[in-house]
Structure 1
Amino acid sequence: MQKNATVQIKGTQKYPEGQEDQQELLTFGKFYERNGVFYVVYKEEGKNTTDLGEVTTFITIKAGAVILNRKGAVDLTQEFRKGILNNSIYTTCYGKLWLSVLPHKVESDLTVHGGRISLEYDLFVDDKLVSHNGLSVNVKEDIP
């Protein structure tokens, strides 16, 4: 059964030159569990997110892996498995980028009542290290 949820996303980037950036998004979405796999779905839209337009994000959490799918104004599928390099294509209205992620931390404590997803990874564009990233997704069940 799908449940309504408040979804808080925090991202950090540390660049090789020493600069650091942070983003935070608070939105509403849904989450559910089916056959031991958890799913979180939320939309990103408005001034606080991308200037490209609306994006729907689907996160799948299963044994040892977090799979991130973004659809809409951008298109991206990334799989996070600790220590395993994953290549993907990030498509926007401006063109395509070849992205790779090398996760160092892939953790989740999601239950049917909510929880947290925590990722730490290196991001590469065209095989060049761009940043060291952290991503935290907190899912809190909305109680009617």
Structure 2
Amino acid sequence: MCKSIRIQVMGTQVYSDGRVDKIDFQTIGSFQKRQEDFYIMYQETEETGMAGASTVLKIGENKLILNRMGAANYRQIFEPGALHHSNYVTSFASIYMSTLTEEMEINLTEQGGHITLKYNLFANDEKVSDNMLEINIKEDTPQ
């Protein structure tokens, strides 16, 4: 059964030159469990710089797959200790991206929960940044 949820995404990106970018946003989406995997679906907003794109997260026991479709198309796998490659495709260019997941904590039930990721991001085999991502999922209750 698909249910409406409130999603909070908090991220920190630390670049090799010491610059730090942070993001903290909330949105409404949907959440469901199919067999052993959880699915989170939401629309990107202006706040993320990807307005008009749809994001689907497929979360397994020790693996998270991000699929983003729309203005940019991107599929990335996060799995502790594994380096995964993909192409980030926009109407302007295609960039070869990789992630190396250092840590992953998944604590989800059918009522919601949280996910924490710590990973390194690479573009064209050059390290771009160290990243920390926290995703909190709660049932969306009418106010």
Q: What's the TM-score, normalizing by structure 1?
A: 0.94
Runs of 5+ consecutive residues of structure 2 not aligned to the other structure: none
The corresponding residue for 1:10 is 10
Distance of 1:49 and 1:84 partners within structure 2: 26
Matches within 5 A, 1:63-102: 63-102=61-100
Q: Which portions of structure 1, spanning 4 or more consecutive aligned residues, are displaced by more than 6 angstroms?
A: none
Asked if the contact 2:59/2:65 (under 8 Å) is kept, the reply is yes
Q: Which residue of 1 aligns with 2:27?
A: 27
Deviations 1:17-69 (A, max 9, x none): 111110112110000111111000010123x221x541111001112100000
Q: TM-score, normalised by structure 2?
A: 0.95
Matched AA of 1:69: N
Distance 1:107 1:75 in 2: 26
- Percent of paired sites with the same residue: 39
Q: How many residue pairs are counted as aligned between the two chains?
A: 142
Q: Any stretches of 5+ residues in structure 1 without a counterpart?
A: none
Residue in 2 that maps onto 1:133: 131
Give the deviation of 1:125 after TM superposition: 0.4
Task: Report the alpha carbon displacement of residue 132 of structure 1 after superposing the two structures with TM.
Answer: 0.1
